[in-house]
Structure 1
Amino acid sequence: MTVDGHTLHRFGLSQLMHQQPDIEIVGEASTAAEAVAMVGKLMPDVVTVDVSLPDRNGLALARDLRDHFPELGIVVLTSFGEDDVLFRAMETGVSAFVPKTASAPEIVCAIRHAAVAARSFTAPGLADALVRLRDARDSSPLSARETEVLRLLHRGLTIPQLARGLHVSNSTAKTYVARLYDKLGVNSRSQALMAAMERGLLQAATFARTGTG
């Protein structure tokens, strides 16, 4: 089943799948809302999900699908090839992450992988992305605690929520945040996240949630 807000993209993927004797398209959805209802009804083996959907972020949809259908193969197709998007997809629990610029064989291979190994992640360029992540970690000016604070800020937690997550008082949590801002040379959460992304620190912090690497 395909989930993509662009008619031409759905058509192109369907045509590609029709050329595969072992793959059958059972449904198409243009929005996340349609996808949730259709997956429950059609029970496909694999769903391809575009990151950019008209009504919702595709990775959020993928997270919900993984929570409700643990054995469903989920392939994320995206026009965005940045490492942080790849690692967010990996963190979400999808089966494969494939840029839309990938070759037809790579897309078909990702779908076949998802059909037989739904909980095992694969992505073109994953090894290179992991090397870049390692290099970013090695050169990071942040301590392990500051990296954890950055991760929690990226998740949108408030200071009280951050304090609970770190098992510290609100005042201590504020101190951690202030130290992080000082190291990044910023004055707000949005500035901190932007600075961290520009310096390659954000994907390292968010990817650390998976416990991998």
Structure 2
Amino acid sequence: MIRTVVVDSDTLTRYGLTMLAGAHPDIDVVGETGSAAAAPALVADLRPDVVLIDATLADGDGIALARRLRASYPDLGLVVLASEHQDDVLFRALDTGASAFVTRTAPVVEVLSAIRHANVAATSFTATGLLDALTRRRERDARFALSPREREVLTLLRDGLSIPEIAGTIHISHSTAKTYVSRLYDKLGASSRAQALMTALRTGLIDYQGLSTTPPTSTREWLA
């Protein structure tokens, strides 16, 4: 019997997964919650074999929760659920150490397969479309051809740092930092930080984790 916990903010999804498991004698949903905050205590109390986690919980980041659970339970099966197939979410799940990635619209057999895989191979990642996603990432990398330093600067832009702050963080001159930012804009076909970040998000060069929600108050503050 695969003891399973469901962490999903949508009540209907939790109910549906419970009913789905009930039709298969090898899977038993022993607990459920819609809260990222409540999930760690529930897992600690119930000691499931597999946890299904929604990537976008109402009170937190589901993939960050998966990372926390992986750090605490190296052999725990972790299945990440997503509303739709997005390469950036898939790769975040992979990098987190999840066992499987499935979408809410996946066929029943795919969801069951993900649970069973996570139970027997917790540290081996599986996802429908993984090969296609890897191909798209290679094509993206070839298209933009960012250097390691440019990727570092892009990450700092995502985090909301101004050019002077970027220069200080990676120990380069102000003019060199401006040059790196200008090169990024050129490669991404952008004329502003916002456009550059939107392109980078859309193409998977960066993800939403860490994206600053409190950017500098003016263009002058970004560039000064």
Query: What TM-score does the superposition give when structure 2 sets the normalisation length?
Result: 0.79
Q: Distance in 1 between matches of 2:49 and 2:160?
A: 35
**Residues 78-133 of structure 1, C-alpha deviations (whole Å, 9 max, x = no match):** 11211111111111111110011111111111111111111111101101111111
Which residue of structure 2 lines up, in the alignment, with residue 106 of structure 1?
Answer: 110
Bigger mean CA offset, 171-180 vs 68-77: 171-180
Shift of 1:164: 7.8
Q: What secondary structure sits across from 1:114 in the alignment?
A: helix
Bigger helix fraction: 1
Q: Distance in 2 between matches of 1:71 and 1:168?
A: 40
Q: Distance in 2 between matches of 1:161 and 1:19?
A: 56
Which residue of structure 2 lines up, in the alignment, with residue 187 of structure 1?
Answer: 192
Q: Distance in 2 between matches of 1:6 and 1:186?
A: 39
Change (3 A) 1:131 1:50: same
Q: Distance in 2 between matches of 1:98 and 1:92?
A: 15
Give the share of equivalent positions with the same residue, in percent: 52
Q: Which amino acid aligns with 1:150?
A: L
Q: Which runs of 5+ in 2 are unaligned?
A: 210-224
**Are the counterparts in 1 of residues 51 and 77 from structure 2 also a CA contact under 8 Å?**
yes
Matched length: 201
Is 1:169 aligned to residue 164 of structure 2? no
**Residues 183-213 of structure 1, C-alpha deviations (whole Å, 9 max, x = no match):** 332332x432102234x25269x9xxxxxxx
Change (3 A) 1:84 1:201: closer
Pairs within 5 Å for 1:85-104: 85-104=89-108
**Are the counterparts in 1 of residues 88 and 204 from structure 2 also a CA contact under 8 Å?**
no
Q: Distance in 2 between matches of 1:201 and 1:110?
A: 24
Which residue of structure 2 lines up, in the alignment, with residue 18 of structure 1?
Answer: 22
Q: Which amino acid aligns with 1:186?
A: S
Q: Which amino acid aligns with 2:205?
A: L
Q: Distance in 1 between matches of 2:35 and 2:173?
A: 40
Q: What secondary structure sits across from 1:74 in the alignment?
A: strand
Change (3 A) 1:153 1:66: farther
Change (3 A) 1:131 1:2: same
Computing the radius of gyration from Cα coordinates, the structure with the larger value is 2
**Are the counterparts in 1 of residues 144 and 187 from structure 2 also a CA contact under 8 Å?**
no
Bigger strand fraction: 2
CA RMSD between the two structures: 2.5
Q: What secondary structure sits across from 1:202 in the alignment?
A: coil
**Are the counterparts in 1 of residues 79 and 98 from structure 2 also a CA contact under 8 Å?**
yes
Q: Which runs of 5+ in 1 are unaligned?
A: 207-213
